[in-house]
Structure formats: structure tokens, C-alpha cells
Amino acid sequence: MSTRERAMICEVGPRDGLQIAKTRMSTPDKLAWIEAIAAAGVGEIEIGSFVPPRVIPQMADTGEILAGSLRLLDRYPDLVVQTLIPNLRGAQAAYEGGAHRVSIPVSVSEGHSRSNLNRSVDEQIAEVERIIAWVRAQPRAMPVLAACSTAFGCSIDGVVRTEQVVRVAAGLAEAGADQVMLADTVGYAHPAQIKEVVRAVRAEIGDRLGGIHLHDTCGLGIANALAALEEGVRQFDSCIAGLGGCPYAPGASGNIVTEDLVFMLESMGFATGIDLAKLLEARAVLHAGLPAEPMHGQLPKAGIPRTFKAAA
């Protein structure tokens, strides 16, 4: 076991990356990719979302993907298999399918909430309460992450104030969420803002503040991850090859790139548990399954520098 401090990465590519990808990945290709991700040592994977297929057809096979991912536990017994759910119905499907953990998006900005979920912010917080009540009534434990979407700006409403984020985060903690995530859904954040919001939310909800979900839309994704790291955040969502992009910004990158993030964290002495060379193999598996999709990330193009030593 490493004596270095841990930093956890949840690979969200099979959900956030694929749901915006221009081309479709087949179910067997998705499962091969998820297996390669687990083989690289990634401990947590968001494998899909239980949303209506007419809304996001790329996620129509989430039930099958969940079942296949759970079969990987034979070889990777510590793997955490997570799905995104927008509502109670999704939570029930995730629970019945055996998901270890669910994440629920709750927009901080009203415009995004109405456009994305067709509900007000407070209605979605109330939905989170209902979901948690239902989950807690089941025989099996299934932790619930609630993510403050558009926490750093909104493509519809524009500026999102820190007080708005604190209010929503407090509401989600109050509703019983095991962890409250902060998500830069549209990729507008800058490092000083990351620090301000992390501090303000932690002052309100303490260690219920979980990880951070960043996009690289404007090129600041990894710098924002550094800012969060410096504020004590140790849990990051990211996506191999920064897959996905942004629906309103053609050519923009998607989530922060897992390969570059792992390189930064391990270089700085944090133990992610991830083998960078094997992570590049998982990138190749992704590319084989989605050959037309642009692949982001600098480290994979440059290769692992000779000075790199992974945290032992």
C-alpha cells in the first residue's frame, strides 16, 4: 500500500463523454472500454445514465452496460459502478440493476434546470429528497451523490453567484445526499472562482462536500483541478480523451482529460491507483470503438516523459 495521499478519479467517459459524442458506440465496444478502464486501476466508473432513450439515445443500453460492468467485480472486486439518474424512476432502475452508487444532477441556475430537467431548482431538490427516502427504505445501501450543475456559470443564465451554489449545496446536504459534488457543467470556471466556491460550500456543509466535475471548454480544466486540489478536494470526475465536447460550442473539449489529470496528480505525489501506461491502452480501446471521434489530451500525444515516476 502506498503511504502517499490518495486522490480518487471517477471516469465518467462512458456517460458524459458518450452522451455528447457525435458517433455511437456499440454495447460490446462500451463494455470492452469499461473493462480496459478498470484494468488500468480506475476505482470508480460512471457507466451510463438511466434517462429516457428518446432524450439521450446513446444511453439506451445502460441496463445492459450496468450488468456487464458488475460482472467485472470478479476480477476488480473494489470497483465502484456508478450511474447517473435524473429522477426517482432512474434511481429505481439503478437500484434494481445493482448500481453501487448514483449521481443526481441538480442545476444551480434556473435556466439550466428548466431546460435540462424541465423543473425548477427547488423542485429538483425536492426530487432528491424523494429519491433518498426511497433509497433508504431499500434493503441494500446505495450512496447518493448530488451534483450542483452549472455551479460556476451557465450558458443560459450567465453568471452564477457563489451564494446560489451554497444555497443549493445546503439544500442537497439537508435532503440527505451522501456527498455534494460541484460541477462546472459548461466549463466557464476559473481557478480563483473554484477556490472561492469550494471554500464557501465547505464552510456550509463541511465534509459532505465531495468531488468536483470539470470541463475543459475554455482550456482551464486542469488548472481548475489544481485549484480544487489546493483547496483540499481529493475526488475528480474526468474522461479519457476529454471525449464529448460541448453541445453549444463546436470543437470544444468535453470533460477534463483523465490521462493528463492522472499525470498531474501522480507527478505531484498523489496516489491515484491508476497505471498511466494501461490508461493509454484504455484510450486505444476507446478509439477502436469510436474511430471518428476527436481525441483530446496532450500527454497521450507526447508520451509519458522519461522523468515520470508514478506514486508507488
Which spans of this chain sit near its own copies (rule: CB under 8 A)? 153, 155, 158-159, 186-188, 190-193, 216-223, 225-227, 230, 246, 249-253, 257, 259-260, 263-264, 267-269, 297-299, 301-303, 305-308
Q: Is 246 a catalytic residue?
A: yes
Q: Say how many Å lie between the first and final Cα of the chain, rounded.
A: 8
Using CA atoms of 261, 150, 148, 222 in order, give the dihedral in degrees to the nearest 10.
10
Nearer to its own copies, 35 or 259 (CB): 259
Which contiguous run of DSSP H or E holds residue 29?
A: helix 27-39
Distance CA(215)–CA(54), nearest Å, equals 25
Q: Minimum Å distance from CB 298 to its own copies? A: 3
Nearer to its own copies, 92 or 267 (CB): 267
470497483: which residue's cell?
79
Q: Minimum Å distance from CB 83 to its own copies? A: 28
Q: Which of 10, 148, 154, 246 is catalytic?
A: 246
Distances (CA, A) of 63 to 50, 66, 152, 170: 8, 5, 32, 32
Nearer to its own copies, 34 or 243 (CB): 243
Nearer to its own copies, 175 or 225 (CB): 225
502517499: which residue's cell?
4
Distance CA(190)–CA(171), nearest Å, equals 25
Q: Minimum Å distance from CB 242 to its own copies? A: 9
Q: Minimum Å distance from CB 188 to its own copies? A: 5
Residues recognised as catalytic: 246
